[in-house]
Structure 1
Amino acid sequence: MTFETLVAPASVADLTQAVLRGDYGPDPAGLHAVGAFWVRQSTQFPGTDTKYRNHYLVLRVESAFGGCCVERDQLDPSAAEELSGRALAELLRDPRTPVRIAALDAYLALVRPHREQAGAEPRLLPHGTPLQRAQARDAAIASLLRIAPGMRVGLIGVVNPLVEAIRSHGGVCLPCDFNLEFTADGTEVARDMRPVLAAADLVIATGMTLSNGSFDEILATLRARGVPLVVYAQTGSAIVPRFLGHGVAAVSAEPFPFSQFSADPTPIHLYRAAGIGRGDARAA
């Protein structure tokens, strides 16, 4: 099997098994997590009451990093202390979902770096404040597919600048998040994603759906409905592009180190499935 004839994965588990078979390149048994990091970070923009609390597991494999944002208490921080030195093949079989996702992301970031992907459009987020950089990032995400006035846009994983970006295009935002009750403008946030997936004309989801295990369900539901899915991925930035054209219509991929850790220009990589342009909102 050549890399050009790879069968599109139906799920994250399918992709993981393909990597373990060596379908994507070097045997992960011969690659090791040289570094493992645990990052705990919070953000609260001036004039708002919303505090975002993020926890990340990051693995370093040769010249690549793999990142996974996790829910509070989903993974013990001490995990980072025992993961370094272990073979990627072992980590890809780990019973803990965040460990598997970080390992898969690191492997694919190594063998499929964004800078070498013909379909990736690099874009630099500008030097600026956290809010300015978040607004630039979220405007890029919202522009990946055309949001027509009145279009119902499901947002799985709420970031308030992205809510604003959706509304600036005339979209009706249907927010869903485990950790927020209301958006900054007072819109109630759903906890159950299923009604959102059933009602939306377009869905934008965070890569954190990989770490909480909901990505496969979102993918299957929207495939069945013929509704396009856009993913903004810090978690799994190298994973999600493997689903382009097979459930995912577009991706904003942001590899580690993430934009919130710097004020200097940092890259994101914008992908669209083949045949989908900026003005399209067709399902992949």
Structure 2
Amino acid sequence: MNDTPLFAGFDDLLAQALAGALGPDPAGLYAVGAFWVRQSTQFPGTTQKYRNYYLVLRVDAAFGACCLEPGQLDSAAAEALSGSDLASLLRDERLAVRVAALDAYLAVIRPHREAASAQALWLPLGTPLERARVRDAAIASLLRIAPGQKVGLIGVVNPLVEAIADQGGLCLPCDFAMQRTANGIAVVREMEPVLDQADLVIATGMTLSNGSFDRILARARQRRIPLLIYAQTGSAIVPRFLGQGVAAVSAEPFPFSQFSADPTPVWLYRTP
């Protein structure tokens, strides 16, 4: 059972953090480091290039991260954030800053390694593609996809498309930055038809940074369909909704798997 109160969505969770209802006053915690990362990935033999931009905050022994939409936050913006207390950052007018700050706050007060419901999956030493395939197979297995089930995929990663197909699921991909998956499935830009048709939904934590997370959560609650979030963005945020519309979480805190070839953990959560 989830031992946390019911949160309506991201803004409600953030308000509870600011009010001190989740733990210590965020005004007493500081972002001692802040950085902006620009990174791209293209697997051999493919034409799809993934372009990623991140804001990362270092707070005590934890990191908070937010993957950005292109142009969402200037690369120099992070320079001004270090030294700020988290209460100030949680009130920042920029959504990406609020997401990274809340992620850092929750990662400090309840690390994945101390969460009773979290299971560590250690990605093996290997190439980016080998590690991505292990991670995405584990993500797909969290929901036990039945053959023929329609799986909405909001935020497309090709190894995850493959993992869904390997379980016999019918992938319904949705993404702003892709027209077709590597195996030729048409990708739609609008998520509402996907949310209406899917038997279950897998979405990226980046839905926090583009503001669509609350809508996806509300629709999953309304339709009573399983929702899995695979999160680099907000890896400490999304587990707070476990059992509250979110059925499972793959939480990958910074440093992310693509930044290392050595074994690194992904934390898997599943409702009973």
Q: TM bucket by the smaller chain?
A: over 0.9
Instruction: Give the 3 Å change call, closer, same or farther, for CA 264–5 of structure 1 in structure 2.
Output: closer
| 1:106-157 C-alpha deviation (Å, 9 max, x unpaired) | 0000001000000000110000000000000000000001100000000000
In the TM superposition, residue 186 of structure 1 has moved relative to its aligned partner by 1.3
SS at match of 1:73: coil
The residue number in structure 1 matching 2:135 is: 137
Among residues 121, 124, 128, which one is paired with 1:123 in the alignment? 121
The one-letter amino acid paired with 1:253 is: A
Measured in 2, the distance between the counterparts of 1:221 and 1:5 equals: 23
- Counterpart among 102, 105, 118 of residue 104 in structure 1: 102
Matching residue of 2:198: 200
Q: Which residue does the alignment assign to 1:34?
A: 32
- Please point out which of 184, 187, 206 is paired with 2:185: 187
Q: Tell me if 1:81 matches 2:79.
A: yes
Identity over aligned residues, as a percent? 71
Given that 1:71 and 1:212 are in contact with CA atoms closer than 8 Å, whether structure 2 keeps it comes out as yes
| Partner secondary structure for residue 45 of structure 1 | coil
Q: Which runs of 5 or more structure 1 residues have no equivalent in the other structure?
A: 276-284
SS of structure 1 residue aligned to 2:39: strand
CA contact (8 A) 2:4 2:240 kept: no
Equivalent residue, structure 2, for 1:60? 58
Give the Å deviation of 1:29: 0.7
Partner Cα distance (1:163, 1:55) in 2 = 22
Distance 1:19 1:55 in 2: 26
Q: 2: CA distance between counterparts of 1:50 and 1:123? A: 27
- One-letter amino acid of the counterpart of residue 263, structure 1: A
CA offsets, 1:70-112, max 9 Å, x none? 1110111111110001110010011111000000000000001
Shift of 1:5: 6.2
Aligned to 2:253: 255
**Aligned CA distance change for structure 1 residues 5 and 203 (closer, same or farther; 3 Å):** closer
Partner AA of 1:72 in structure 2: P
| 2:226 corresponds to | 228
Q: How many residues align?
A: 271
**Match of residue 162 from structure 1:** 160
CA distance in 2, matches of 1:112, 1:207: 18
CA–CA distance in 1 between the matches of 2:112 and 2:10? 19
RMSD (CA atoms): 0.9
Q: Distance in 2 between matches of 1:40 and 1:154?
A: 28
The answer to whether the 8 A contact 1:29-1:87 is kept is yes
Which residue of 1 is the match for residue 214 of structure 2? Answer: 216
The offset of 1:25, in angstroms, is 1.1
- Say if 1:154 and 1:203, in contact at 8 Å, map to a contact too: yes
Q: Which runs of 5+ in 2 are unaligned?
A: none
Partner residue in 2 for 1:278: none
1-side partners of 2:60 and 2:243: how far apart? 29
Matched letter for residue 127 of structure 1:
L
C-alpha displacement of 1:248: 0.1
The alpha carbon displacement at 1:14 in A equals: 0.5
